[in-house]
Amino acid sequence: MNEANLIRWCGPLFGVVMLLAGGRTMAQVQPCDSLGATLAHEPDTVDLGVLLSVELPPQAEPVGIVFWYFADGSVQTSLGGELHHQFPGAGVQPVCAALSVVDNQQLDTCSLFVCGLVDVQEPHCPGVDPEFTVVVSGDTVEFIDQTTAFSGASVVGLAWDLGDGATAIGSAPQHVFTTPGPHEVCLTVSAVDSTQQPCTSTVCHWYYSGPVDPPCEDVLTVSFDHAVLPNGQVALWSTSLTSGMTGEHLWDLGDGTQATGPFALHSYPFGGLVQICLSVSVSGPLFTDSCTATTCSWIDLTGLLGVEEPEAAQSLRARPNPAGERITVELPLGINSGHLQLVDLLGRPHLDVAVHGERQDLVVSGVPTGAYLLVFRNGGVMMSTRIMVAH
Protein backbone atom coordinates (compact mmCIF):
# COMPACT_ATOMS: atom_id res chain seq x y z
CA MET A 1 0.00 0.00 0.00
CA ASN A 2 1.27 3.46 -0.80
CA GLU A 3 0.04 6.99 -1.33
CA ALA A 4 0.80 7.01 -5.05
CA ASN A 5 -1.68 4.23 -5.70
CA LEU A 6 -4.03 5.51 -3.01
CA ILE A 7 -5.04 2.42 -1.16
CA ARG A 8 -7.07 -0.35 -2.71
CA TRP A 9 -8.08 -3.79 -1.71
CA CYS A 10 -10.84 -6.14 -2.66
CA GLY A 11 -11.87 -8.54 0.05
CA PRO A 12 -14.94 -10.30 1.42
CA LEU A 13 -17.47 -7.56 1.87
CA PHE A 14 -19.18 -7.30 5.21
CA GLY A 15 -22.31 -9.40 5.36
CA VAL A 16 -24.10 -6.52 7.05
CA VAL A 17 -24.69 -4.83 3.69
CA MET A 18 -27.64 -6.66 2.24
CA LEU A 19 -27.56 -5.42 -1.35
CA LEU A 20 -29.33 -7.50 -3.93
CA ALA A 21 -27.18 -8.34 -6.94
CA GLY A 22 -28.46 -10.88 -9.41
CA GLY A 23 -30.69 -12.45 -6.78
CA ARG A 24 -27.88 -12.85 -4.24
CA THR A 25 -26.96 -10.75 -1.26
CA MET A 26 -23.56 -9.10 -1.30
CA ALA A 27 -22.42 -11.43 1.46
CA GLN A 28 -22.77 -14.28 -1.04
CA VAL A 29 -21.09 -12.50 -3.96
CA GLN A 30 -17.45 -13.28 -4.68
CA PRO A 31 -14.98 -10.44 -3.99
CA CYS A 32 -13.53 -8.47 -6.89
CA ASP A 33 -9.85 -9.40 -7.08
CA SER A 34 -8.67 -8.16 -10.47
CA LEU A 35 -10.63 -5.05 -11.45
CA GLY A 36 -7.98 -2.56 -10.37
CA ALA A 37 -10.55 -0.11 -8.99
CA THR A 38 -9.46 3.15 -7.33
CA LEU A 39 -11.13 5.90 -5.35
CA ALA A 40 -10.91 9.29 -7.10
CA HIS A 41 -11.87 12.75 -5.88
CA GLU A 42 -12.03 16.34 -7.05
CA PRO A 43 -13.12 19.58 -5.37
CA ASP A 44 -16.82 20.39 -5.52
CA THR A 45 -18.19 23.87 -6.11
CA VAL A 46 -19.16 24.18 -2.44
CA ASP A 47 -16.58 25.04 0.25
CA LEU A 48 -15.00 21.83 1.66
CA GLY A 49 -17.16 19.83 -0.74
CA VAL A 50 -15.66 16.94 -2.72
CA LEU A 51 -16.98 14.80 -5.55
CA LEU A 52 -16.02 11.21 -4.71
CA SER A 53 -16.09 8.48 -7.31
CA VAL A 54 -15.11 4.83 -7.71
CA GLU A 55 -13.16 4.43 -10.94
CA LEU A 56 -13.72 1.07 -12.63
CA PRO A 57 -12.38 -0.40 -15.89
CA PRO A 58 -14.62 -0.06 -18.99
CA GLN A 59 -16.00 -3.58 -18.67
CA ALA A 60 -17.34 -3.02 -15.13
CA GLU A 61 -20.17 -0.95 -13.72
CA PRO A 62 -21.64 -0.45 -10.22
CA VAL A 63 -25.07 -1.86 -9.42
CA GLY A 64 -27.39 -1.07 -6.53
CA ILE A 65 -26.55 1.10 -3.54
CA VAL A 66 -22.99 2.27 -2.77
CA PHE A 67 -22.14 2.68 0.93
CA TRP A 68 -19.56 5.39 1.77
CA TYR A 69 -17.66 5.31 5.09
CA PHE A 70 -15.90 8.31 6.64
CA ALA A 71 -13.35 8.79 9.42
CA ASP A 72 -15.88 10.38 11.77
CA GLY A 73 -17.96 7.19 11.72
CA SER A 74 -20.65 8.56 9.41
CA VAL A 75 -22.08 6.57 6.50
CA GLN A 76 -23.73 7.84 3.32
CA THR A 77 -25.31 6.01 0.40
CA SER A 78 -25.58 6.77 -3.29
CA LEU A 79 -26.90 5.18 -6.45
CA GLY A 80 -24.02 4.80 -8.87
CA GLY A 81 -20.35 5.28 -8.16
CA GLU A 82 -20.38 9.03 -7.33
CA LEU A 83 -21.13 11.02 -4.20
CA HIS A 84 -20.96 14.72 -3.34
CA HIS A 85 -19.77 14.95 0.27
CA GLN A 86 -19.28 17.97 2.52
CA PHE A 87 -16.31 17.43 4.86
CA PRO A 88 -16.24 19.09 8.30
CA GLY A 89 -12.78 20.55 7.75
CA ALA A 90 -9.71 20.68 5.53
CA GLY A 91 -6.93 18.09 5.62
CA VAL A 92 -6.24 14.54 4.50
CA GLN A 93 -9.25 12.30 5.14
CA PRO A 94 -9.61 8.51 4.64
CA VAL A 95 -12.73 7.40 2.75
CA CYS A 96 -13.98 3.89 1.93
CA ALA A 97 -16.73 2.71 -0.43
CA ALA A 98 -18.55 -0.62 -0.59
CA LEU A 99 -20.48 -1.66 -3.67
CA SER A 100 -21.54 -4.47 -5.92
CA VAL A 101 -20.00 -4.50 -9.41
CA VAL A 102 -21.12 -6.14 -12.64
CA ASP A 103 -18.14 -7.40 -14.63
CA ASN A 104 -19.44 -7.63 -18.20
CA GLN A 105 -16.23 -9.32 -19.37
CA GLN A 106 -16.46 -12.13 -16.84
CA LEU A 107 -20.27 -12.12 -16.95
CA ASP A 108 -20.43 -12.11 -13.18
CA THR A 109 -21.14 -9.88 -10.20
CA CYS A 110 -18.59 -9.26 -7.47
CA SER A 111 -18.34 -7.21 -4.26
CA LEU A 112 -15.83 -4.37 -3.99
CA PHE A 113 -14.43 -2.51 -1.00
CA VAL A 114 -12.13 0.37 -2.00
CA CYS A 115 -10.40 3.03 0.12
CA GLY A 116 -8.36 6.15 -0.51
CA LEU A 117 -6.98 9.31 1.04
CA VAL A 118 -8.83 12.51 0.13
CA ASP A 119 -7.00 15.83 0.41
CA VAL A 120 -9.71 18.34 1.35
CA GLN A 121 -8.60 21.86 0.49
CA GLU A 122 -9.44 25.10 2.26
CA PRO A 123 -12.19 27.20 0.61
CA HIS A 124 -10.96 29.30 -2.31
CA CYS A 125 -12.10 32.14 -4.56
CA PRO A 126 -13.08 31.26 -8.15
CA GLY A 127 -10.79 33.23 -10.46
CA VAL A 128 -8.11 33.88 -7.82
CA ASP A 129 -4.81 31.97 -7.59
CA PRO A 130 -2.91 33.09 -4.44
CA GLU A 131 0.89 32.71 -4.46
CA PHE A 132 4.06 34.36 -3.13
CA THR A 133 7.85 34.06 -3.28
CA VAL A 134 10.61 34.75 -0.74
CA VAL A 135 13.72 36.94 -1.08
CA VAL A 136 16.36 36.83 1.70
CA SER A 137 18.83 39.68 2.30
CA GLY A 138 20.96 39.10 5.40
CA ASP A 139 18.61 38.65 8.33
CA THR A 140 15.70 40.30 6.50
CA VAL A 141 13.14 38.16 4.69
CA GLU A 142 10.88 39.78 2.11
CA PHE A 143 7.65 38.05 1.09
CA ILE A 144 6.49 39.08 -2.38
CA ASP A 145 2.89 38.60 -3.49
CA GLN A 146 2.46 36.89 -6.86
CA THR A 147 -1.30 36.35 -6.78
CA THR A 148 -3.09 36.27 -10.13
CA ALA A 149 -6.74 37.14 -10.74
CA PHE A 150 -8.67 36.15 -13.87
CA SER A 151 -12.18 35.69 -15.29
CA GLY A 152 -13.30 39.05 -13.88
CA ALA A 153 -12.03 38.49 -10.31
CA SER A 154 -10.06 41.20 -8.53
CA VAL A 155 -7.85 41.40 -5.43
CA VAL A 156 -8.86 43.90 -2.72
CA GLY A 157 -6.50 43.05 0.17
CA LEU A 158 -3.47 41.01 1.29
CA ALA A 159 -2.90 39.79 4.85
CA TRP A 160 0.09 37.77 6.08
CA ASP A 161 0.60 35.37 8.99
CA LEU A 162 4.39 35.07 9.28
CA GLY A 163 4.41 31.90 11.35
CA ASP A 164 6.07 33.24 14.50
CA GLY A 165 3.17 35.29 15.85
CA ALA A 166 3.83 38.32 13.63
CA THR A 167 1.38 39.55 10.99
CA ALA A 168 1.60 42.02 8.10
CA ILE A 169 -0.38 43.53 5.25
CA GLY A 170 0.58 44.68 1.77
CA SER A 171 2.19 43.21 -1.30
CA ALA A 172 5.81 42.88 -0.09
CA PRO A 173 6.23 42.90 3.73
CA GLN A 174 9.69 42.45 5.25
CA HIS A 175 10.41 40.55 8.45
CA VAL A 176 13.29 39.46 10.70
CA PHE A 177 12.77 36.12 12.44
CA THR A 178 14.11 36.08 16.00
CA THR A 179 13.34 32.42 16.69
CA PRO A 180 14.51 29.31 14.82
CA GLY A 181 12.27 27.87 12.13
CA PRO A 182 10.59 26.22 10.45
CA HIS A 183 7.84 28.85 10.14
CA GLU A 184 4.65 28.30 8.18
CA VAL A 185 3.95 31.58 6.39
CA CYS A 186 0.43 32.11 5.04
CA LEU A 187 -0.94 34.72 2.65
CA THR A 188 -4.71 35.38 2.76
CA VAL A 189 -6.09 37.19 -0.26
CA SER A 190 -9.35 39.11 0.05
CA ALA A 191 -11.02 39.38 -3.33
CA VAL A 192 -14.13 39.76 -5.40
CA ASP A 193 -14.40 36.46 -7.24
CA SER A 194 -15.41 35.73 -10.84
CA THR A 195 -19.09 35.77 -9.79
CA GLN A 196 -18.57 39.22 -8.16
CA GLN A 197 -18.95 37.81 -4.65
CA PRO A 198 -16.54 38.71 -1.80
CA CYS A 199 -14.30 35.83 -0.74
CA THR A 200 -10.89 34.89 0.63
CA SER A 201 -8.22 32.44 -0.53
CA THR A 202 -5.16 31.33 1.43
CA VAL A 203 -1.82 29.81 0.44
CA CYS A 204 0.88 28.67 2.88
CA HIS A 205 4.57 27.81 2.47
CA TRP A 206 7.22 26.80 4.98
CA TYR A 207 10.21 29.07 5.54
CA TYR A 208 13.28 27.55 7.18
CA SER A 209 15.53 29.57 9.45
CA GLY A 210 17.71 28.82 12.43
CA PRO A 211 20.33 26.14 13.15
CA VAL A 212 20.94 23.03 11.10
CA ASP A 213 19.93 19.75 12.77
CA PRO A 214 17.50 21.14 15.38
CA PRO A 215 15.97 18.79 17.98
CA CYS A 216 13.66 16.37 16.19
CA GLU A 217 10.72 17.21 18.45
CA ASP A 218 10.87 20.86 17.34
CA VAL A 219 9.95 20.01 13.75
CA LEU A 220 8.28 16.59 13.84
CA THR A 221 5.23 15.40 15.78
CA VAL A 222 4.12 11.83 15.06
CA SER A 223 0.51 10.80 15.61
CA PHE A 224 -2.13 8.60 13.97
CA ASP A 225 -5.80 7.71 14.12
CA HIS A 226 -7.73 4.54 13.33
CA ALA A 227 -11.15 3.12 12.52
CA VAL A 228 -12.51 -0.43 12.58
CA LEU A 229 -14.20 -0.96 9.22
CA PRO A 230 -17.38 -2.99 8.70
CA ASN A 231 -15.52 -5.85 7.01
CA GLY A 232 -13.39 -6.34 10.14
CA GLN A 233 -10.25 -4.62 8.87
CA VAL A 234 -8.52 -1.79 10.72
CA ALA A 235 -7.78 1.44 8.82
CA LEU A 236 -4.82 3.46 10.11
CA TRP A 237 -3.81 6.91 8.91
CA SER A 238 -1.08 9.30 9.91
CA THR A 239 -2.02 12.68 11.42
CA SER A 240 1.65 13.62 11.90
CA LEU A 241 2.98 17.17 11.58
CA THR A 242 6.18 17.28 9.50
CA SER A 243 6.70 21.07 9.17
CA GLY A 244 6.23 20.86 5.42
CA MET A 245 8.87 18.19 4.84
CA THR A 246 8.18 14.91 3.08
CA GLY A 247 7.73 12.11 5.58
CA GLU A 248 8.46 8.40 5.19
CA HIS A 249 5.97 6.32 7.20
CA LEU A 250 6.64 2.86 8.65
CA TRP A 251 3.96 0.98 10.61
CA ASP A 252 4.60 -1.80 13.12
CA LEU A 253 1.18 -3.44 13.17
CA GLY A 254 1.72 -5.36 16.40
CA ASP A 255 1.39 -8.86 14.98
CA GLY A 256 4.80 -9.20 13.37
CA THR A 257 3.86 -7.42 10.15
CA GLN A 258 4.69 -3.95 8.82
CA ALA A 259 3.27 -1.48 6.31
CA THR A 260 4.52 1.72 4.68
CA GLY A 261 2.83 4.93 3.60
CA PRO A 262 0.57 7.40 5.41
CA PHE A 263 -2.40 5.00 5.23
CA ALA A 264 -2.53 1.31 6.11
CA LEU A 265 -5.22 -1.39 6.18
CA HIS A 266 -4.85 -4.60 8.12
CA SER A 267 -6.77 -7.65 9.32
CA TYR A 268 -5.98 -9.22 12.69
CA PRO A 269 -6.55 -12.93 13.35
CA PHE A 270 -7.05 -12.31 17.08
CA GLY A 271 -8.88 -10.03 19.49
CA GLY A 272 -7.84 -8.19 22.61
CA LEU A 273 -5.30 -5.40 22.80
CA VAL A 274 -2.68 -4.78 20.11
CA GLN A 275 0.06 -2.17 20.21
CA ILE A 276 0.52 -0.35 16.91
CA CYS A 277 3.53 1.92 16.34
CA LEU A 278 4.16 4.52 13.65
CA SER A 279 7.65 5.81 12.82
CA VAL A 280 8.07 8.87 10.60
CA SER A 281 11.37 10.01 9.08
CA VAL A 282 11.78 13.45 7.50
CA SER A 283 14.64 15.09 5.62
CA GLY A 284 15.05 18.59 4.26
CA PRO A 285 17.09 21.78 4.41
CA LEU A 286 17.16 21.76 8.21
CA PHE A 287 18.97 18.42 8.43
CA THR A 288 22.29 17.08 7.23
CA ASP A 289 20.84 13.58 7.46
CA SER A 290 17.26 12.92 8.63
CA CYS A 291 15.04 13.07 11.69
CA THR A 292 12.95 10.13 12.94
CA ALA A 293 10.32 9.93 15.66
CA THR A 294 7.96 7.14 16.78
CA THR A 295 4.66 6.93 18.60
CA CYS A 296 2.75 3.84 19.78
CA SER A 297 -0.87 3.31 20.79
CA TRP A 298 -2.90 0.41 22.15
CA ILE A 299 -6.06 -0.51 20.21
CA ASP A 300 -8.75 -2.79 21.64
CA LEU A 301 -9.87 -5.31 19.02
CA THR A 302 -12.17 -7.27 21.32
CA GLY A 303 -15.59 -7.85 19.84
CA LEU A 304 -14.87 -5.82 16.72
CA LEU A 305 -12.72 -7.97 14.48
CA GLY A 306 -14.33 -11.37 14.31
CA VAL A 307 -12.95 -12.62 17.61
CA GLU A 308 -13.32 -16.34 18.12
CA GLU A 309 -16.64 -16.91 19.82
CA PRO A 310 -18.29 -19.96 21.38
CA GLU A 311 -20.39 -22.17 19.14
CA ALA A 312 -23.53 -20.60 20.54
CA ALA A 313 -22.52 -17.26 19.03
CA GLN A 314 -23.81 -18.43 15.68
CA SER A 315 -27.30 -18.47 17.17
CA LEU A 316 -27.42 -14.74 17.95
CA ARG A 317 -30.09 -13.32 15.68
CA ALA A 318 -31.18 -9.76 14.96
CA ARG A 319 -34.00 -8.86 12.61
CA PRO A 320 -34.89 -7.11 10.44
CA ASN A 321 -31.50 -6.51 8.85
CA PRO A 322 -31.23 -3.82 7.57
CA ALA A 323 -33.25 -2.27 10.40
CA GLY A 324 -35.35 0.87 10.35
CA GLU A 325 -36.93 1.84 13.67
CA ARG A 326 -36.56 -1.30 15.78
CA ILE A 327 -34.47 -4.48 16.05
CA THR A 328 -35.61 -7.72 17.66
CA VAL A 329 -32.66 -9.65 19.14
CA GLU A 330 -33.04 -13.36 19.86
CA LEU A 331 -30.55 -15.19 22.09
CA PRO A 332 -29.76 -18.92 21.89
CA LEU A 333 -31.93 -21.31 23.81
CA GLY A 334 -30.95 -21.41 27.48
CA ILE A 335 -29.42 -17.91 27.59
CA ASN A 336 -31.82 -15.32 28.96
CA SER A 337 -29.73 -12.58 30.56
CA GLY A 338 -26.68 -10.49 29.78
CA HIS A 339 -25.70 -7.20 28.18
CA LEU A 340 -26.16 -5.82 24.64
CA GLN A 341 -24.18 -3.05 22.96
CA LEU A 342 -24.63 -1.51 19.52
CA VAL A 343 -21.16 -0.33 18.44
CA ASP A 344 -20.24 1.83 15.43
CA LEU A 345 -17.18 1.66 13.15
CA LEU A 346 -14.98 3.54 15.61
CA GLY A 347 -15.94 1.32 18.54
CA ARG A 348 -18.30 3.88 20.07
CA PRO A 349 -21.44 2.42 21.74
CA HIS A 350 -24.75 3.90 20.57
CA LEU A 351 -26.98 1.60 22.65
CA ASP A 352 -26.15 -0.17 25.90
CA VAL A 353 -28.90 -2.23 27.54
CA ALA A 354 -29.32 -5.10 29.99
CA VAL A 355 -31.07 -8.20 28.61
CA HIS A 356 -33.72 -10.14 30.55
CA GLY A 357 -35.28 -12.93 28.56
CA GLU A 358 -34.46 -14.73 25.32
CA ARG A 359 -35.82 -11.88 23.21
CA GLN A 360 -35.03 -8.16 23.40
CA ASP A 361 -36.42 -5.26 21.36
CA LEU A 362 -34.04 -2.40 20.63
CA VAL A 363 -35.30 0.97 19.40
CA VAL A 364 -32.81 2.29 16.81
CA SER A 365 -34.85 5.21 15.43
CA GLY A 366 -32.34 7.62 17.00
CA VAL A 367 -29.25 5.79 15.73
CA PRO A 368 -27.66 7.27 12.57
CA THR A 369 -27.82 5.27 9.35
CA GLY A 370 -24.76 3.05 9.01
CA ALA A 371 -23.09 -0.28 9.75
CA TYR A 372 -22.83 -1.52 13.34
CA LEU A 373 -21.74 -4.48 15.39
CA LEU A 374 -24.28 -5.88 17.88
CA VAL A 375 -22.35 -7.43 20.77
CA PHE A 376 -23.83 -9.60 23.55
CA ARG A 377 -21.85 -10.50 26.69
CA ASN A 378 -22.68 -12.68 29.67
CA GLY A 379 -19.68 -13.58 31.80
CA GLY A 380 -17.24 -15.46 29.55
CA VAL A 381 -19.76 -15.80 26.73
CA MET A 382 -19.58 -13.28 23.89
CA MET A 383 -21.68 -13.20 20.73
CA SER A 384 -21.75 -10.70 17.91
CA THR A 385 -23.45 -10.05 14.63
CA ARG A 386 -23.22 -7.24 12.13
CA ILE A 387 -26.29 -5.20 11.24
CA MET A 388 -27.16 -2.20 9.08
CA VAL A 389 -29.39 0.63 10.28
CA ALA A 390 -31.10 2.36 7.35
CA HIS A 391 -33.87 4.88 8.06
Q: For residues 145 and 108, what is the distance between their CA atoms, to the nearest angstrom?
A: 57
Sorted by where each starts, the structural domains of the chain and their CATH numbers stand as 1-121 (2.60.40), 128-207 (2.60.40.10), 213-308 (2.60.40.10), 313-389 (2.60.40.3080)
Output the tens digit of pLDDT for each of the chain's 391 residues: 333 222 222 222 222 222 222 333 333 345 676 677 888 888 776 667 788 888 888 888 888 788 888 877 678 888 878 888 888 877 778 888 888 888 777 677 887 878 877 888 777 788 899 999 999 888 899 999 999 999 889 999 999 999 989 999 999 999 999 887 788 999 999 999 888 889 888 899 888 877 778 888 888 899 988 877 656 678 888 888 888 888 899 999 988 899 998 888 888 876 667 889 999 999 877 788 888 999 998 887 754 433 333 333 446 788 887 888 888 888 877 777 888 888 776 567 888 888 888 888 889 888 888 777 787 877 666 677 777 787 7
| CB neighbour list of residue 330: distance below 8 Å, 6 or more residues apart | 316, 317, 318, 319, 358, 359
Task: Specify the pTM.
Answer: 0.54
Say if residues 389 and 367 touch (Cβ distance below 8 Å): yes
Q: For residues 317 and 383, what is the distance between their CA atoms, to the nearest angstrom?
A: 10
Say if residues 334 and 310 touch (Cβ distance below 8 Å): no
